[in-house]
Homo-oligomer: A and B are copies of this chain.
């Protein structure tokens, strides 16, 4: 893929805690005192649940605290006081994604094109598929491709192989680019890192299999797609992004599938973009999107 451009090094702090007066003042004062130049700050208060959320990004040049000490010092001086849950991310760290895919290729090609063009400044060292249909394409782009067939009887052991590969390749998050297998709860819990799925309907309408057939039967006038984090409950994880496209009675199921695929790949791409820029924060099955 194309070379990463020179950019100033930044850090992103994602915070949530019980709402209280003075949080923004404390956090921004901490950054200011330590010589940090804020370039983005976004906050949100959930008034019903009385929870405060914040994303702040600042330039690390001349920041007083070394990268690996920032979170600790922040927790000492601010986090503890406000009972914060905090995480920190550094722009320098290139995230490593694994793509899971079956035979349907539109999301796969779209992900690859964003990767090789340098739009996404990440590494994709690993592709896993339950088919070998797309192996050749993966190899063209120099990405390791592992064909791991899964059926009812071998699921547990094959998922073990996948988990080993994920560890071996040091993967930070998984993108399910229309991977037609349901991940087991064990797999999800063991991997314990973000998994982004694209569901081919406007959830919660038409969860499960064959959503376009159901949409056709119901005679809806819009079809959609949903990018969400995977949880152990199928198609019920926190939604990152959704979009729709207009359809009419003229469209056959095949037309719905074709038109829907364009929405799917766009929604998946936007969800991944938000994730890799640390713009998402999940709280109780809802996704705060700082964009």
In this assembly, does A66 line the interface, its C-beta being within 8 Å of a C-beta of chain B?
Answer: no
Give, as a whole number of angstroms, the nearest-CB distance from A172 to chain B.
Answer: 22
Instruction: Indicate how many identical chains form the complex.
Output: 4
CB < 8 Å: which of B21, B28, B110, B116 contacts A24?
Answer: B28
CA distance A286 to B45 in the complex (A): 28
**A243 and B222 contact, CB distance less than 8 A:** yes
Give, as a whole number of angstroms, the nearest-CB distance from A25 to chain B.
Answer: 4
CA distance A263 to B285 in the complex (A): 26
A18-35 CB contact bits vs B (8 Å, 1 = yes)? 000110110011011001
Can you list 14 A-B pairs, Cβ within 8 angstroms, ordered by A? A21-B35, A24-B38, A25-B25, A25-B32, A29-B29, A106-B113, A106-B119, A109-B116, A109-B117, A205-B205, A221-B289, A222-B224, A246-B246, A249-B289
Q: Which residues of A contact B (CB under 8 A)?
A: 21-22, 24-25, 28-29, 31-32, 35-45, 47-48, 105-106, 109-110, 112-113, 116-117, 119, 140, 202-206, 218-222, 224, 238-244, 246, 248-250, 252, 258, 262, 266, 269, 285-289, 291
